[in-house]
């Protein structure tokens, strides 16, 4: 068994695709419209889905708002350098909501970024101590 994908519902598919490709470095792997169901699915990731987990963005054409809820936590993405990743995201007008630095009560360097729909993304360095 393996984890195939995680799905997020988004209100502006083009803005979300731009965020995940331009700021987070993912590739658009595939995209398909479902006119009868009035939705579009877009799959993004860091490599072929046969070997990597993907992020599925679901855009329901008739929905312009979602409540995030209080059970959702975050998506974690490994980066080579958390500080440099935050600088690059801010340079492209991305929202860093927790600057890079050691986690509370630990040494692992992390940061948090917010996507266009308000979903939290944790950036973790490749060298983790906790």
**pLDDT number for residue 130:** 56
Structure confidence by residue, pLDDT tens digits, 58-74: 999 999 999 888 778 99
Reply yes or no on whether 122 is catalytic.
yes
**Tokens 């308000």 sit on residue:** 118
- Asked if the structure places residue 65 within a domain, the reply is no
Domain count of the fold of the chain? 2
Q: Does some domain include residue 114?
A: yes
* Domain carrying residue 83: 75-125
Taking the C-alpha atoms of residue 106 and residue 111, their distance in angstroms, rounded to an integer, is 13
Catalytic residue among 18, 56, 95, 122: 122
For position 107, which CATH number holds?
Answer: 3.10.180.10
89 inside domain: yes
Same domain, 10 and 39: yes
pLDDT number for residue 93: 96
pTM of the model as a whole: 0.87
pLDDT of 47 reads 96
Per the structure block, which two tokens stand in for 11?
A: 């209100």
Which two structure tokens, joined as six digits, stand for 14?
């083009």
46 in the same domain as 17 = yes
- Separation of alpha carbons 102 and 93, rounded Å: 23
Let me know whether 10 and 46 are in one domain.
yes
pLDDT of residue 19: 97
Q: Is there a domain that residue 81 lies in?
A: yes
Burial class (CB in 10 A: 0-12, 13-18, 19+), 117: middle
Residue 68 lies in a domain: no
Q: Is residue 67 part of a domain?
A: no
pLDDT at 129: 61
Say if residue 48 is in the same domain as residue 91: no
Is 113 inside a domain boundary?
Answer: yes
Q: Which residues in the chain land under pLDDT 70?
A: 128-130
**Do 55 and 81 sit in the same domain of this protein?**
no
Note whether residue 118 is domain-resident.
yes
Task: Please give the pLDDT value at position 106.
Answer: 80
């Amino acid at each position: 068994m393996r984890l195939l994908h995680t799905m997020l519902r988004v209100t502006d598919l083009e803005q979300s695709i731009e965020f995940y490709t331009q700021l987070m470095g993912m590739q658009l792997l595939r995209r398909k419209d479902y006119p009868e169901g009035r939705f579009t699915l877009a799959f993004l990731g860091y490599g072929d889905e046969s070997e990597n987990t993907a992020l599925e963005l679901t855009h329901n054409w008739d929905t312009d708002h979602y409540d995030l809820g209080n059970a959702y936590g975050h998506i974690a993405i490994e980066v080579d350098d958390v500080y440099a990743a935050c600088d690059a995201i801010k340079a492209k007008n991305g929202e860093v909501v927790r600057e890079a630095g050691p986690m509370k009560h630990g040494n692992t360097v992390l940061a948090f970024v917010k996507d266009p729909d308000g979903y939290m993304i944790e950036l973790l360095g490749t060298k983790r101590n906790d």
